[in-house]
Structure 1
Amino acid sequence: MTHDPTGRLLLTPVDTEAPARVRRLRGLGIGQCPEPAFDAFADRLAELTGAPYSMVNFIDENRQFFAGLHAPERPARPADRYMARDHGYCPHVVVRRKALVLEDVRDYPRFAGNPVVEEIGIRSYLGAPLIDRTGMVLGTVCVVDVEPRRWGRAGLDTIKRMAAELVEQIHRREEGGI
């Protein structure tokens, strides 16, 4: 985490890999439009975890894009699947390169002030990075809830397993197998 010159804490981590990630995502042909396969993956992830919201999220220098989304109502327009990079917790997962479990975001000062807490009412988060065979973090898979959740070890294992499964699907797609 960094501070700006005025001494204010910046909650979103610096992401030096973003330009390379964007090139890799474009090369794979993903991360710029919703995809039924990613929506189906998000649906399955929500079912496995019992979460009301689930995403397959790809992140560039400025914003996040939910190429796969499970929500009570899916947005009708692709533009509604974008979120600023400083909103939410997936940018932290990408920079950390490891899973993040927040059972109640308000218990963590670093995360409690995130705009999604007040604007959307997010109270819990569980996410894991999508790290491909080149070592690039492409994005994340995550689930969120508007209530505190005890994700526990089972939740962490599930999100990590599902991230690995999706990366394998992306690799098969790259090889022409899907």
Structure 2
Amino acid sequence: MKHLTVEELDAITEIETTSNILRLTTRLTGMRFSAISKMTESYWVACAVHDELHFGLEVGDELRVEATLCNQARANRKSIIIEHASKDPVFWEHPLPKAHGFESYISLPIVFSDGTVFGTLCALDVLPKQLENPQMFEILSIFTRLIGTTLELQRSRA
């Protein structure tokens, strides 16, 4: 876990509702995998994971950042929503959904008050899901603000 500090991991764990946020994310989206990630210029790091899909990622696992769609959410500071990757006009030819076998995906950036991006709240599933739901998106956005605020408070104490 060289890209995730003990303090960051503690702060995420301290969010008493982290497991509930991830479980609720899967319930709201209908997807069976959700995670909170930290992103650096080079790495995506799993900070917390809820995996009913048995996708295989665990806390502390690292991926090259360019091997993730979350990287686009981080770079653009905009959410990514894919309901059916193989039929999506933007992502139907993208290698990542094909390589990892997922059809539905959502990623929301976790942004600090100074504009820096910590990482993402993301979810995915091998089955297509209906994700264009403003109420669901609003709730997930509240989750990212809660996570970001908690991490920022921890960062200011350190």
Q: Aligned partners of 2:130, 2:119: CA distance in 1, in Å?
A: 24
CA distance in 2, matches of 1:74, 1:59: 19
Residue 104, structure 1, aligned to residue 92, structure 2: no
Matches within 5 A, 1:76-155: 81-108=61-88, 110-152=90-132, 153-155=134-136
Deviations 1:98-151 (A, max 9, x none): 112111122345433444323321111111111101210111101111111111
1:174 aligned onto 2:152: no
SS of the residue corresponding to residue 86 of structure 1 reads: helix
Please, which runs of 5 or more residues in structure 1 have no aligned partner?
A: 1-21
Q: Aligned ranges for residues 33-72 of structure 1 at < 5 Å?
A: 36-37=13-14, 40=19, 41-72=21-52
Q: Which amino acid aligns with 2:109?
A: P
2:8 alignment partner in structure 1 = 30
- Determine the C-alpha separation between the residues in 1 that align with 2:130 and 2:91: 17
If you compute each CA radius of gyration, which structure gives the higher value, 1 or 2?
1
Evaluate the alpha carbon distance shift between residue 134 and residue 64 of structure 1 in structure 2; reply closer, same or farther with a 3 A threshold.
same
Aligned residue pair count: 150
The residue number in structure 2 matching 1:7 is none
SS in 1 for 2:135: helix
Distance 1:101 1:62 in 2: 23
Q: Does 1:163 align with 2:123?
A: no
**C-alpha distance 75-36 of structure 1, shift in aligned 2 (>3 A):** farther
1:62 shift after superposition: 2.0
Task: Assess, with a 3 A threshold, how the Cα gap between structure 1 residues 128 and 52 changes in structure 2: closer, same or farther.
Answer: same
Is the Cα contact below 8 Å between 1:99 and 1:156 reproduced in 2? no
For 2:104, give the aligned amino acid.
S
2:7–2:154 Cα contact (<8 Å) kept? no
Q: What amino acid is aligned across from residue 8 of structure 2 in structure 1? A: I
Q: Distance in 1 between matches of 2:14 and 2:46?
A: 12
C-alpha distance in structure 1 between counterparts of 2:62 and 2:151, whole Å:
21
Distance (whole Å) between structure 1 residues aligned to residue 131 and residue 45 of structure 2: 24
The root-mean-square deviation of aligned C-alpha atoms, in Å, is 3.1
What's the TM-score once normalised by structure 2's chain length? 0.76
* Separation of aligned partners in 1, 2:113 and 2:151: 10
Q: CA deviation at 1:78?
A: 5.2
Q: Distance in 2 between matches of 1:76 and 1:122?
A: 14
